[in-house]
Structure 1
Amino acid sequence: MDQKFCQSCGMPLNVSEDFGTNADQSKNEEYCTYCFANGNFTEDVTMDEMIDHCVQYLDDFNKDTEQALTKEQAIEQMKQYFPTLKRWAQA
């Protein structure tokens, strides 16, 4: 099975609880529970605002990977990656 990632914030979608919900409360396969609930995005944000939000979790990301990114490195990587995500590619 291919690893799925939230198409808004890039979070890995590993377990059922990670997935957002559609309006009918079914599981949304594209977005995480933090970005998408009840068929709508939970926040009306720009891509840059989403990056600013996500970089707050850099310490959690770094402890789960072999690399230790600086805040600047993480922001630069997200600026490259986020435009490939469905939510931002359509913007």
Structure 2
Amino acid sequence: MNEKLCQSCGKPMGETNKLYGTEKNGTRSLDYCDDCYKNGEFTSQITKERMIEVSIPYLLKEKPGISADEARQEMEAFFPTLKRWKQFKS
């Protein structure tokens, strides 16, 4: 089973639409979580690099055996695969 991930931060969004962001017309976004996307707009004009830095503590909690540098490297490879960040070259 492929878990649906936010295409901005990579957060798992689950089976229900509870964690999904919203479009301008009020429908649920199929791509972004409610932390990243509301009313058809991103909630923050954060850069990919800053999003990675903000996300490190969450990955460390999920994978306690890795270092912050390993988490950063993993996310530097992962984030460019997400819809929001595909357009940006590293």
Q: TM-score, normalised by structure 1?
A: 0.85
SS in 1 for 2:18: helix
- Provide Cα deviations, 1:15-70, integer angstroms capped at 9, x if missing partner: 322111111111101001111111000000110000011113234423xxxx6322
Matched length: 87
- Show the counterpart of 1:76: 73
How far apart are the structure 2 equivalents of 1:27 and 1:81?
24
Consecutive unaligned residues of structure 1, counting only runs of 5 or more, are none
Where does 1:57-68 land on structure 2 (aligned, <5 Å)?
57-62=58-63, 68=65
Runs of 4+ displaced beyond 4 Å: none
User: How big is the alpha-carbon RMSD for the aligned residues of Structure 1 and Structure 2?
Assistant: 1.5
Unaligned runs of 5+ in 2: none
Higher mean C-alpha deviation, range 19-28 or range 1-10:
1-10
> Higher helix share goes to which structure?
1
- Choose 78-87 or 2-11, whichever is displaced more: 2-11
Percent same amino acid among aligned pairs?
37
Are residues 1:89 and 2:86 paired?
yes
Tell me how far apart the structure 1 counterparts of residues 50 and 73 of structure 2 sit (CA, whole Å). 14
